[in-house]
Amino acid sequence: MKNRNYIVHLAGIVAMIFWGMSFVWSTQVYENLNPTATIFLRLVVATIFLTAILFVFRLNEKVKKEHLGLFALAAMFEPFLYFIFEGYGLKNTSPIIGSGIIAMIPLVTPIAARIFLKERLTPMNIVGFITSFVGVIVLLLNKNLEFTASPKGILFLFGAVVVAVGYSIALIKLTKLYKPLTITWMQNIIGMIYFIPVVFIIERFEPSNFANVGGYIVPLVCLGVFCSSVAYALWAFTFSKLGASRANVYSNLIPVFTAIFSYFIIHEALTANKIIGILVVVVGLVLSQMKGTKQ
């Protein structure tokens, strides 16, 4: 049983590594494409990849008609609304700041989980949540203790936080019905359908957008395969074992990995306050996973 627990936590960490890197990959693609086109193509790649995996290895499940509404709701939250908010938020902020605000999801999720899922938290879980949040705040401050981000970008990112909580509630219900790969596959297909009118009618995506495909194809494929396929499947698995509140604490690791990857790949400065923030986030994560007396 203990080995099984390690696998669950490892799955959550690996998912966060890929999503931490997604902020860097997205920034690279945005140099050539707008956020909605990027997300649509990312979902196309993810759908092709997951379809091949499911049918080649015969892992596909039959989805019941009565559950399509729940899948449609989950996909409306994420990837559709979440990626729109995150995409335009990231376009107006830096990768580290963007990932830092997204890491606030665990602070909102427990409230929703208590209301909709009747999940209970231990005092140690709550201490861990608060500690991680403090770490995220430190991560976002400059040396003068000021936030350095566009208000427009922050507003979009907070929108992403809200819809991510809605997705968490829908996801925990789906994990009781289907396997993680099936959930990820279905939400990507439905999400891709949602994006079609946005990309081709509103944004007017054209073949000319592929002119410089060589400049962004690698990060785009990485977004589709690792972030929209592998990471989401691992995340659904983690959710099914830990519940919404405890699983979402792993979101606090996203700015940690983003800061590290941004430093080495796109050379974003890794200052002392960011390093301190990273350490505090990790301490909070450890505390949040400790068991104690339930409230």
The answer to whether residues 292 and 124 touch, using CB atoms and an 8 Å cutoff, is yes
Q: What span, in angstroms and rounded, lies between the C-alpha atoms of 280 and 282?
A: 5
Nearest C-alpha neighbor of 203 from the set 81, 88, 34, 42: 34
Each domain of the chain, given as residue ranges in start order, spans 2-288
Q: What span, in angstroms and rounded, lies between the C-alpha atoms of 184 and 121?
A: 27
Q: What span, in angstroms and rounded, lies between the C-alpha atoms of 213 and 209?
A: 8
In sequence order, the 6+-apart residues with CB closer than 8 A to the CB of 210 are: none
Residue 125's pLDDT is what? 72
Convert 57-94 to b/e letters by CB count within 10 Å (16 or more is b): eeebeeeeeeeeebbbbbbbbbbbbbbbbbbbbbbbbb
Residue 207's pLDDT is what? 64
Residue 293's pLDDT is what? 42
Convert 115-131 to b/e letters by CB count within 10 Å (16 or more is b): ebbebebbeebbebbeb
In sequence order, the 6+-apart residues with CB closer than 8 A to the CB of 201 are: none
pTM: 0.80
Q: What span, in angstroms and rounded, lies between the C-alpha atoms of 248 and 106?
A: 5
Residue 147's pLDDT is what? 63
Q: What span, in angstroms and rounded, lies between the C-alpha atoms of 167 and 8?
A: 20
Residue 250's pLDDT is what? 83
Report pLDDT digits (tens) over 229-243: 999 999 999 988 888
Count of beta carbons in the 10 Å neighbourhood of residue 218: 12
3 state DSSP class of 141? strand
Residue 291's pLDDT is what? 59
Nearest C-alpha neighbor of 81 from the set 157, 20, 150: 157
Region of residue 236 (phi > 0: left; psi between -120 and 50: alpha; otherwise: beta):
alpha
Residue 294's pLDDT is what? 46
Q: What span, in angstroms and rounded, lies between the C-alpha atoms of 37 and 41?
A: 6
pLDDT along the chain (295 residues), means of 10: 75 93 90 87 95 91 94 95 89 78 74 72 78 78 66 87 88 91 95 90 68 85 96 91 80 83 84 81 75 48
Count of beta carbons in the 10 Å neighbourhood of residue 152: 13
Q: What is the DSSP string of 170-220?
A: HHHHHTTTS-HHHHHHHHHHHHHHHHHHIIIIIS---GGGGTTGGGTHHHH
Residue 111's pLDDT is what? 67
Count of beta carbons in the 10 Å neighbourhood of residue 6: 9
Summarize the chain as % helix, strand, coil (round to 5). Answer: 80, 0, 20
Residue 217's pLDDT is what? 93
Residue 295's pLDDT is what? 43
Q: What span, in angstroms and rounded, lies between the C-alpha atoms of 116 and 110?
A: 10
